[in-house]
Amino acid sequence: RGPNFFRVARQWISIRKCYELVEVAEKRVGKYDWIYRTRSDLVWVSSLVPSLLNLSQSHVYVPAIGMTHVESYKCMNDHVFLCPRDLCRPYFHLLEIWESPHCQDRNGYPVLIPHGRREPPTENYNLMQSPGMTAQWFFFARYGGRRPCLLGSSWECCGVVRELLLFYAMARTSRTATIFVQCNSRMKKDARREVVRSREYR
């Protein structure tokens, strides 16, 4: 647990509640094809919803830039999440890996992160720990990522997560400005690099 533990936990509680509302709505209107989750404090400088025509039903998608350019955090951006309906559950029910009665804290059980594709965990396990990284590691691991990506790694290091080229900035508040847009040169610099990478896995 770090200083941001409860803030992050509240965020994922809200994400799960949103998903539960989607499930209620689907009973009335039918099952959605895709679910698109985005932070409410993003300032978009490109299309908010990407075209789904070139996206695979076998992958989930996160932004390629906007969080960090560090290679070991590849595929872990949680600002935006886009999933074909059948692959959405592990992300929106992330908290169950800690809440499950099957989550143990003693020897004798396999060390893993349950994928939760269809249902909550059904067998006992010891939760695999994050390798000194953020909470995003755990949703990354639920989708098949087992270790941080190294420079030059193929997309297999991301499991079924893939990155999309999305352009946005963060809306922030400060003591000197009520609201400001958090921009920096990295977004422009990385965008050129990511244009090439984003075309490789569509």
**CB proximity list for 13: less than 8 A, separation 6 or greater:** 95
Full DSSP string of 27-90: HHH---SEEEEE-TTEEESS-SS--STT--TT-EEEESSSS---GGGTT---SEEEEEGGG-HH
Whether residue 34 has pLDDT greater than 60: yes
pLDDT in tens, 50-108: 788 889 999 999 988 656 667 778 888 889 999 999 999 999 999 999 999 999 988 88
Q: H or E segment at 25?
A: helix 5-29
**Burial of 43 from C-beta contacts in 10 A (0-12 / 13-18 / 19+):** middle
Residue 67: which of 121, 134, 16 has the closest Cα?
134
Whether residue 36 has pLDDT greater than 50: yes
pLDDT in tens, 151-172: 777 778 899 999 988 888 888 7
pTM of the model: 0.82
